[in-house]
Amino acid sequence: MGNICRSPTAEAVLRAKAKQAGLAIEFDSAGTENYHIGEAPDHRSIRHAKERGYDLSTLRARQVHADDFHSFDLILAADELNLRELRRRCPAEQHGRLQLFLGDVALPDPYYGESDDFEKVLDLVEKRAVLLLSQWSRPN
């Protein structure tokens, strides 16, 4: 929603794992709301990611823009609420580019949680990133 927890975490993890795999893929994250535009990710997201070797410190929150629906091949939402909002804003002919990050379940929001919740998000994101990158690296 605000682009300070789940989505910057996913962006950093995907970017790092793609680089490790030698894949040249562009990643970006954005929120559906404008709460934190220009702000760094939540300090807890930064800290937990850093402990695993991911750098979120240079990322800044932004809101999804109409151009994103044409610029990116795939837009992954953290949960159904964000997916609905993306569908509302997205041109109908681009709806096929919208999916949940975890496929068929929501990525839990750690914002109001404890340290374990940020670790759980990282576990889920890392696992999904490996799967997504293996799919994207296969020849068509």
**H-only helix segments in 74-114:** 80-89
Domain membership flag for residue 81: yes
Residue 131 counted as domain residue: yes
Question: Cα(84)–Cα(103) distance, rounded to whole angstroms?
Answer: 15
pTM listed for this prediction: 0.95
Kindly state whether residue 14 falls inside one of the protein's structural domains: yes
Q: How many structural domains are present in the chain?
A: 1
In the predicted structure, residue 140 carries a pLDDT above the cut 70: no
Can you give the CATH number for the domain in which 24 is found? 3.40.50.2300
* 75 domain-assigned: yes
For 124, other C-beta atoms within 10 Å of its C-beta total: 19
pLDDT digits (tens, 9 = 90+) for 57-94: 999 999 999 999 999 999 999 999 999 999 999 999 99
pLDDT digits (tens, 9 = 90+) for 18-64: 999 999 999 999 999 999 999 999 999 999 999 999 999 999 999 99
Domain, as residue range, for 123: 6-135
Q: Give percent of the chain above pLDDT 90.
A: 96
**Which amino acid would we find at residue 17?**
K
